[in-house]
Chain A
Amino acid sequence: MKKVGKPVFFIIVLLIAAMGYLTVAGVTTVYGDSTTRAIKGIDDVRWGIDIRGGVDVTFSPPEGVTATAEEMDAAESIIQVRLVSQNITDSEVYTDHDKNRIIVRFPWKADETEFNPEQAIAELGAMANLTFREGANIGPDGKPAGDTLNKLVLEGKDIESATAVYSTASSASTPEYGVELKLKESGKQKFAEATGRLIGQPISIWMDETLISAPTVRNQINDGIAQITGQFTSQEATDLANKINAGALPFALVTENYNTISPTLGAGAKDAMMMAGAIAFAVVAAIMLVCYRLPGLVAIIALAGQVILMIASITGFFSVFPSFTLTLPGIAGIILAIGFGVDANIITAERIKEELANGRSLDSAVDSGFKRAFSAILDGNVTVIIVAIILMGSFGPPDSLFARILSPLFFMFGTSAAGTIYSFGYTLLIGVLLNLLMGVLASRLMLKSISRQSWARNPALYGGKN
Chain B
Amino acid sequence: MSTADISQGTDRVAIARETDAPTVETTGRAATAADARPAGATHAEGARAAEATDPENALSARAARAVATATGTHPAEATDPAGADPAGATRPATIAADTHPAEATHAEGAHAAEADRPAATATTVRSALGLRLFGSELGLVFRRRRNQALLLLLGAIPIVVGIALKLSTPRGDDAGPRLIAQVAGNGVFLTVGALFFVLPLILPLAISVVAGDSVAGEAGIGTLRYLLAVPAGRTRLLLVKYATTVTFCLAAVATLTATALATGLLLFPVGPVTLLSGSTVSLSEGLVRLLLVALYIAAGVATLAAIGLAVSTVTDSPIAAITTTAVLPVVSQVIDAVPQLRSVHPYLFTHWWYSYDDLLRAPIVTDHLTHGLLAFLAYTLVFGSVAWARFTSKDVTC
Q: Do A and B bind each other?
A: no
Q: Which residues of B contact A (CB under 8 A)?
A: none
